[in-house]
Structure 1
Amino acid sequence: MGRMKRPGRVAVGDRVRFEGRIRGVLAVAAQAVTLTDGEEPYLVVPLLELFAAADFEVMTSPVRMPLPATSLLEAFPAREVDKALWWEGHILEVLHGLPPDAEPGTTVRPEYGPERSLTARQRAKAAELTAAGHKVSASTVAHRRRRYQERGVLGLADHRPVRRTAEFGEVDDAVVAAMRQAIKEAVDASTRTGTFILWRTGEILKETPDRQRAGLPSQRTLYRLLAKLTSGTHTTGSAVTRRSRAHGATTPHGELPVLAPGEVMQIDSTPLDVLVLLDNGVTGRVELTAMIDVATRTLTAAVLRPTTKAVDASVLLARTVTPELMRPGWSDALRMSRSVLPHRRLLALDERLAHAAARPVIVPEVIVCDHGKAFLSRNFVSSCRFLEIEVQPAHQGSPFEKGHIEKMLGSVATLFAQFLPAYTGRSVEHRGRHLERERVWSLLELQELLDEWIVAKWQNRKHDGLRDPVHPGRLFTPNEKYAALVEACGYVPVALSGDDYVELLPAEWRVVNEYGIRIKNRTYDSRALGPMRRQNSGVRAKRGLWEVHRDPYDVSRIWVRNHRGDNEWVPATWKHLNRAPVPFGDLAWDHVSHQLPRATEAEIADAVAALLTRAHDGPQTGQDPQPGKRDRRVAARTKAAGPLTPASVAGAQAEPEDEADESEESVAEVIPLGLFDPLEDPWKRS
């Protein structure tokens, strides 16, 4: 009886070699072990017989065929891959007795039979390869076998062609550390060139102890090192972007789930890259202040002013929570009734939406802003507190916390501003020549174009951030997302009443003269001001002046608080309103049938194209063609709101034949109607 080979341990789950086969251990008792036996349920073998077997061996790890790391092999040359696959076939024959490409039923060669030990099979493979012209030793085969069992086919490849190099080559670590410090010092400083960074690196090295001091490599090596260390940091570029990247979050960004319109909204300002004709007749740049809803990406309001003030933020808030009314000249495809928005449901809540444009009315719950004076002013904060809106300032130097509005403001330049005349570009080096010679829009006209662009383009543009979670390949427009969320969360906006809207407008104190009230070289008057003319308001703190509220972006009217009465608002209209375009002239749309189909994408695209063409051409200076009789009747009905251009009645229907001989005098008999009055209560209409 031969000498027994006692293993260190035999436990359930181990794999052992016994009688020329590899078997699994099912159970271990004091005198015997239970092994798998192929087709038989099991085989019970006494321990003495098992240990005395000539081929007994405890397999330290299961013999398996590793999957080739195909993705990593792609980095190797084709010749090395072929050589590794060649070695794999021979190693598998050593381990399992048959090569991987053996046909079913192939008999194992005796030198690789299960009765032979692993060492014997390795010696046989070395002899076979040497006889075939590949001089290989048994130790080489054993080394390849071990690498294969550890790393698969990747362990059989020669790694020299793809050997990794040091991250910074042979540059000393002290030089790398000094340059990192110089780059860190430049984060909050003014932007300098790479030459300064290299000089500062040398100065930092001089301050290190002698025993740790390293010599500077060549200038070309230093510039290559600088390029690696400053990649994506904007060290020699934009200071704003550099600080934003450096002070941004170093851990994975969290996600703020926003599931309802108005749950989180963002507000910000930026200069608009267009020259505008200001009220004083001088061309200059203006600032754009806008608010966006995170859940739907709806641009709820955007206003243009020479400078952003606290009152602008309050007016922006007022516009956000009030409907955007259709204007003369707008395409009928931009009406809310022809959009995907739930117009009928909202119309039942507020009849003022009958003439509304396709822009949702969203009441904010939280407004995220920066630390600008306009957004943290007493006026804006008080308005938000009045509407029960939480104001959440972003952290200092963290514009990514309001990235949605930052991205939107950048999109205005590429999608709208560059189509306008006198476009200045984003910097001086992008500015054209003789911009002052171009026909520039006035501030009020440009505001009108911007409002139309928001309804026509932005609200109907598919947004990459509005994807269906179940079907990520589908994109939504802001209007489509709003309609979907209304169905999902039951959101119902409660718009401001007329009094609330007027209360949010900026206030001024004026004298009511015999001719009315004069503001910004415009005179406003109405019959209701009769008892106030040349009278003292009774407000001693304001020396008897009257409180006047006005919308800086709508010059058509103002509101005067009657301090001598019940503090009700008395409207007054601009005297020369009939000589200028009207911001709110919704009555021009009454002659269009209300039973219109939903606007198609082609109609919206045509409206956007016409808008951009009109914006690029600049204000017209010539005489417009005369409108038709039907259009003149529509213009007469809205004469109290100001004259209409031919574009404002482009949607008018053709005149019936039985009215072809109608005289011009019939136009004068039409009773003119007034402007849209936000003070009018829609629930009290007859």
Structure 2
Amino acid sequence: MTAGGGSVLRPGDWVSFDADDHQVVGLAGTAVRLRSAGGAESVVLASYLMAAPDFAVTGVEPLPEMEPVGLLETLPEPARTAAVKWQRHVVEVETGLPPGAEPGTTPRSEYDPVARSVVERAQAKADELGVSLRTVMDKRSRYARQGLWGLVDQRLVRVREATGRADARVVAAVRQVLEDQTQVSTGTRSRVIRRAVKLVEATHGEGVVPLPSRNTFYRLIDALSSGRHSFGSAVTRRQTANRPQGPFTPTFADRPGEQVQIDSTPLDVMVVLDSGVTARADLTIAVDVATRTICAAVLRPVGTKAVDASLLLARMLVPEPMRPGWSASLAMASSRLPHRQLLNVDARMDQAAAKPVIVPDTVVIDGGKVFISDTFVRACERLGISVQRARPRTPTDKGVVEATFSAINTLFCQHLAGYTGRDVTRRGDRIEQAAVWTIPELQELLEKWLLAGWQARPHDALRDPFRPGKAVSPNDKYASLVAAAGYLPLVLRGEDYLELLPVAWRAINDYGIRIGHRTYDAPELGPWRRQHSGHAAKRGLWEVHYDPYDLSRVFVRTSGGWITAPWVHLPLVNGPFADFTWDHARRLAAAAGLDDSNEAAVARVLEALLTRAEHGPDTRSARVLARTRAAAALPGPTAASDIAPSSNPAPDSAAAASPSAEVVPFGVFDPHAEAERWL
């Protein structure tokens, strides 16, 4: 039986175990009978005995060290040859014969173990080699402990410091300067030398610390900057410095929805806004770790809002509907997903596209204000989803979604007109002129590619457990996991959709509700005017939900249910508008000398802003208009159509605008002419 402190464990040996000394009195199979110093006997399993933290065999010679074969191969050939020669001499001293001697060979008389003692044989070897007896005995001892490695000249295996003989204070200063280089623009080694010298003199005094020569300084900097990219790409340098110090552990999940990572980034494609101005779009995606399914993807002109992240949750929790004009091959019924089984559980799967519906247990987000906002966190709480925040400046905490962005750029974006490349060094000439896609068109292209490309394409991180060499697609992985984990449909009602919207607390006055210099009113608010809401913590104010991308109406929660209140000046505006559109209209009104707190005046400017976009407004206005129309063009979640007010619905903006067209001949008010006159 092999033991940690000796070669074999035998009856009679003493061992240290369980904070006491024990003698081995018997061995039977895997059982060891022990008798303690006090006479108490016990029987323990050998595996348990040897796994004990304090187990050791006492009173025996320790096992010899194993030879470091790898280090032996790194030695120069003369050093290995000298060690082998010494091995032959030491073995001859120990046994009387050199290694590899033929059978029947007689030892030389001076090395005969029968006639000579060890000391006599060692002295004979010392006389033969012309060395001292102490040298031979030292070689014997080292060979017994370390084997051939003990006979190597240790001067050849000393590990030299990378910094050589440089003063430790100079080394510390160079290290500090290189650390400070992480976040600044890339410089040269001469800048590091200058700053290191100044740091040494400021810390220890001028002339106190001996400084190396310039060439030695260069060698020292090269040694200390290894792996830092101190004089290369600033992006690579920051990414390298941002890596975790500990080992990188990949993220795993065993079932769909166990962990979903969400993030947003500018897409590497130039898009055409409605006015013809080109810009980049923000892409927000949610990626399931277990199946690598992109649960939802939303494009917006740069400037993603918290409500976008909340609506992303709503989109991923309901089936993706088939759109008019889509090929039947994109339907779930035509895919490898278990459509029949899912249809028996959820009737909405009948006309669903070939993308799984995944209800997340946990979402991983970064510190972006979009995801840590009350709107997003409250939406997750409402849906029973726990939120896990990644550590600051640690993208490896959500490495799956970060890698997915890179894959989208490689597999999708680079094949589009207007592709910019990941940085300016990879950007082509006149990319803005090559852009042809609008955001709604690019959104539809992306959704088709996700269905036909990403979800059906084998993914390197997804493997068949029975055939590890075969990669499977996200849809295939989902089909295999959903059979084991099951599927729980989450039906979003209209009220659930309203709960995802941002909240403002306001009073219901005689004139209605005021939010952002806008007034909302409806006849159904009559019983609640000037009344206390019952929420003492909010000073009796009422809970009002609003959609930042459609400020034409708000939703008020009352004890009788939801009440939809339209904007009182909605007939003056001929289209939907968002909060950033309203703010821009207020800035334009102020620039024109109007009162930007007068909502009627701002409404006229807003009407002009929305109707004159095709005449070439300024770039800032064009970007605002594009964001407004892109938000309106993107279809909402399936459940959003269930929203129904508790009373009469608010008038449609297009229908409400028609009376203003009828009163134009009577000279009451012409918004187009009025806007032209003011602007």
What TM-score does the superposition give when structure 1 sets the normalisation length? 0.61
Instruction: Find the residue that maps to 1:518 and give its secondary structure.
Output: coil
Match of 1:197 among 192, 201, 208: 192
**Counterpart in the other structure of 1:349:** 345
Deviates more, 1:157-166 or 1:284-293: 157-166
Paired residues in the alignment total 491
Q: Distance in 2 between matches of 1:411 and 1:216?
A: 49
1:473–1:191 distance in 2 versus 1, CA, 3 Å: same
1:403–1:556 distance in 2 versus 1, CA, 3 Å: closer
Q: Distance in 1 between matches of 2:381 and 2:651?
A: 22
Q: Distance in 2 between matches of 1:177 and 1:361?
A: 55
C-alpha displacement of 1:349: 1.2
| Amino acid aligned to 1:119 | V
Q: Distance in 1 between matches of 2:636 and 2:65?
A: 78
Listed one character per residue, the Cα deviations across residues 627-661 of structure 1 (whole Å, up to 9, x for unaligned) are xxxxxxxxxxxxxxxxxxxxxxxxxxxxxxxxxxx
For residues 105-120 of structure 1, the aligned pairs below 5 Å read 111-113=111-113, 116-120=116-120
> Is 1:419 paired with 2:461?
no
For residues 31-430 of structure 1, the aligned pairs below 5 Å read 68-103=67-102, 111-113=111-113, 116-126=116-126, 130=128, 138-159=133-154, 163-187=158-182, 193-210=188-205, 213-235=208-230, 246=241, 249-252=244-247, 258-307=253-302, 308-327=304-323, 334-430=330-426
CA contact (8 A) 1:267 1:369 kept: yes
1:68–1:27 distance in 2 versus 1, CA, 3 Å: closer
Q: Distance in 2 between matches of 1:123 and 1:325?
A: 94
1:388–1:290 distance in 2 versus 1, CA, 3 Å: same
| Amino acid aligned to 2:420 | T
| Amino acid aligned to 2:647 | G
Listed one character per residue, the Cα deviations across residues 379-438 of structure 1 (whole Å, up to 9, x for unaligned) are 322322221222233233232222221222122222221111121122223211122332
Match of 2:647 among 541, 548, 565: 565
Q: Distance in 2 between matches of 1:65 and 1:550?
A: 74
Q: Distance in 2 between matches of 1:149 and 1:276?
A: 75
CA contact (8 A) 1:244 1:397 kept: no
**Counterpart in the other structure of 1:519:** 576
Listed one character per residue, the Cα deviations across residues 600-653 of structure 1 (whole Å, up to 9, x for unaligned) are xxxxxxxxxxxxxxxxxxxxxxxxxxxxxxxxxxxxxxxxxxxxxxxxxxxxxx
Listed one character per residue, the Cα deviations across residues 92-111 of structure 1 (whole Å, up to 9, x for unaligned) are 23223444424566666653
Match of 2:634 among 547, 550, 553: 553
1:146–1:423 distance in 2 versus 1, CA, 3 Å: same
1:332–1:84 distance in 2 versus 1, CA, 3 Å: farther
Match of 2:483 among 456, 478, 487: 487
CA contact (8 A) 1:182 1:201 kept: yes
Instruction: Find the residue that maps to 2:414 and give its secondary structure.
Output: helix
CA contact (8 A) 1:147 1:155 kept: yes
For residues 497-512 of structure 1, the aligned pairs below 5 Å read 497=492, 499=494, 503=498, 504=500, 506=547, 508-510=550-552
1:500–1:229 distance in 2 versus 1, CA, 3 Å: farther
Structure 2 portions without partners, runs of 5+: 15-58, 502-546, 553-565, 579-602, 604-629, 656-679
Instruction: Find the residue that maps to 1:360 and give its secondary structure.
Output: coil
1:332–1:562 distance in 2 versus 1, CA, 3 Å: closer
CA contact (8 A) 1:341 1:479 kept: yes
Deviates more, 1:445-454 or 1:474-483: 474-483
| Amino acid aligned to 2:226 | S
C-alpha displacement of 1:163: 4.6
CA contact (8 A) 2:464 2:471 kept: yes
**Counterpart in the other structure of 2:511:** none
Instruction: Find the residue that maps to 2:575 and give its secondary structure.
Output: strand
Q: Distance in 1 between matches of 2:335 and 2:171?
A: 59
Q: Distance in 2 between matches of 1:487 and 1:14?
A: 53
For residues 438-453 of structure 1, the aligned pairs below 5 Å read 438=434, 440-453=436-449
Listed one character per residue, the Cα deviations across residues 484-542 of structure 1 (whole Å, up to 9, x for unaligned) are 33234x23132334636754574624379999973379xxxxxxxxxxxxxxxxxxxxx
**Counterpart in the other structure of 2:611:** none
| Amino acid aligned to 1:232 | G
C-alpha displacement of 1:370: 1.9
C-alpha displacement of 1:204: 0.9
Instruction: Find the residue that maps to 2:489 and give its secondary structure.
Output: coil
Structure 1 portions without partners, runs of 5+: 1-12, 16-23, 29-59, 522-542, 544-548, 574-686
Q: Distance in 2 between matches of 1:277 and 1:471?
A: 46
Q: Distance in 1 between matches of 2:636 and 2:11?
A: 92
**Counterpart in the other structure of 1:679:** none
Deviates more, 1:424-433 or 1:250-259: 250-259
Instruction: Using the aligned pairs only, state the percent identity.
Output: 42
Q: Distance in 1 between matches of 2:12 and 2:106?
A: 29
| Amino acid aligned to 2:453 | K
Instruction: Find the residue that maps to 2:447 and give its secondary structure.
Output: helix
Q: Distance in 2 between matches of 1:500 and 1:262?
A: 24
**Counterpart in the other structure of 2:29:** none
Q: Distance in 2 between matches of 1:14 and 1:295?
A: 48
1:290–1:234 distance in 2 versus 1, CA, 3 Å: farther
CA contact (8 A) 2:551 2:576 kept: no
CA contact (8 A) 2:495 2:643 kept: no
Q: Distance in 2 between matches of 1:124 and 1:409?
A: 75
CA contact (8 A) 1:322 1:361 kept: yes
Q: Distance in 2 between matches of 1:108 and 1:301?
A: 84
| Amino acid aligned to 2:280 | R
Q: Distance in 2 between matches of 1:571 and 1:467?
A: 52
Q: Distance in 2 between matches of 1:163 and 1:182?
A: 29
CA contact (8 A) 1:269 1:290 kept: yes
Q: Distance in 2 between matches of 1:569 and 1:377?
A: 32
C-alpha displacement of 1:374: 1.7
| Amino acid aligned to 1:553 | L
C-alpha displacement of 1:332: 5.3
Listed one character per residue, the Cα deviations across residues 3-60 of structure 1 (whole Å, up to 9, x for unaligned) are xxxxxxxxxx999xxxxxxxx99699xxxxxxxxxxxxxxxxxxxxxxxxxxxxxxx9
C-alpha displacement of 1:319: 1.8
C-alpha displacement of 1:178: 1.0
C-alpha displacement of 1:75: 0.5
